[in-house]
């Protein structure tokens, strides 16, 4: 019960890493709210999984690119749950593309979700954490932000922005009892991870000490600790979970 009686908001919570975190956080005692893009069936499954642990669940079909909708979502969560103790910024997209053929539209789409979405969700949550003088913010970035991997330039750039966001916000937030940290995720067996070329996935499993892709629940278990009261002396850190990559 690492997160007993805590209230968590997970962006992009209907699948992949987000879904795993919703389920693990609920198992560890948290009530969980999450947003999702479009798949009502998957969202309903996550709500059922959260409730199966005896916890309350809220699901919002809201895009992180819609700032007014994000503000409204946070207001409604605060009305129903009274507070938000934990925010996990997980929502992200990738597009298989080379820089030479990348369109301005593709660049803008990835930046809008991965960077502007980070602002849109965090700002209203952060303001209520300031008033309460406490909270945990966990941002999910990627090893593609720090290593020269054959991933798309717009995705790597957007995830590198998450690093700067985490480090700088942690300085400001720590004086108010709010911790801000991040996980740099390797390649996981999720919808997003499997958008990568098959050849690259084969190379990755070969160079990884674990010899395989990660399982979403493996990251979620550590995320629960990072968002718990037991993790009391970490600020502005980027923790890599990638199965032991040698690059």
Per the domain annotation, does 39 fall within a domain?
yes
Residues 239, 19: Cα–Cα separation, whole Å: 20
Q: Is the model's pLDDT at 188 over the cut of 90?
A: no
Is residue 246, in this structure, part of any structural domain at all?
A: no
In a domain, 247, yes or no: no
pLDDT, position 201: 77
| Mean per-residue pLDDT, 113-127 | 98
Q: Active-site residues: which are they?
A: 155
Within-domain flag for 116? yes
Query: What domain count does the chain have?
Result: 1
Banded pLDDT at 194 (limits 50, 70, 90)? low
Classify residue 1: in a domain, yes or no: no
Q: Does 2 reside within a domain?
A: no
Q: Which helix (H) or strand (E) holds 75?
A: helix 67-81
For residue range 20-68, list pLDDT tens digits in order.
Answer: 999 999 999 999 999 999 999 999 999 999 999 999 999 999 999 999 9
pLDDT tens per residue across span 10-27:
999 999 999 999 999 999
Q: Is residue 88 part of a domain?
A: yes
pLDDT tens digits, residue range 202-233?
877 877 888 888 899 999 999 999 999 999 99
What is the CB neighbour count within 10 angstroms for residue 75? 12
Q: What is the CATH number of the domain that holds 135?
A: 3.40.50.720
What pLDDT digit, counting tens, does each position of 125-136 carry?
999 999 999 999
Containing domain of residue 50, as a range? Answer: 7-241
Whether 75 maps to a domain, the answer reads: yes
Give dist(CA 163, CA 228) in Å, integer: 21
Structure-derived torsion over alpha carbons of residues 237, 238, 241, 245, reported in degrees to the nearest 10 = -120
């Amino acid at each position: 019960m690492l997160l007993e009686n805590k209230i968590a908001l997970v962006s992009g919570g209907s699948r992949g890493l987000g879904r795993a975190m919703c389920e693990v956080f609920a198992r560890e005692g948290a009530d969980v709210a999450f947003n999702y893009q479009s798949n009502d069936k998957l969202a309903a499954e996550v709500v059922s999984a959260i409730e199966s642990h005896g916890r309350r669940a809220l699901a919002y079909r809201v895009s992180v690119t819609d700032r007014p909708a994000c503000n409204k979502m946070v207001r409604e969560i605060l009305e129903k749950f009274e507070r938000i103790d934990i925010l996990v910024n997980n929502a992200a997209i990738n597009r298989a593309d080379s820089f030479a053929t990348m369109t301005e539209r593709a660049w803008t789409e990835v930046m809008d979700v991965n960077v502007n979405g980070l602002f849109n969700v965090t700002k209203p949550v952060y303001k209520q954490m300031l008033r309460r003088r406490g909270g945990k913010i966990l941002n999910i970035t990627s090893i593609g932000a720090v290593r020269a991997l054959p991933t798309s330039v717009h995705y790597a750039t957007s995830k590198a922005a998450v690093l700067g966001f985490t480090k700088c916000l942690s300085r400001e937030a720590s004086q108010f009892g709010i911790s801000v940290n991040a996980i740099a995720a390797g390649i996981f067996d999720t919808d997003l991870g499997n958008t990568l070329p098959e050849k690259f996935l084969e190379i990755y499993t070969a160079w990884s000490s674990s010899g395989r892709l990660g399982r979403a629940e493996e990251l979620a278990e550590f995320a629960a600790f990072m968002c718990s009261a037991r993790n009391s002396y970490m600020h502005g850190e980027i923790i890599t979970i990638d199965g032991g990559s040698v690059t």
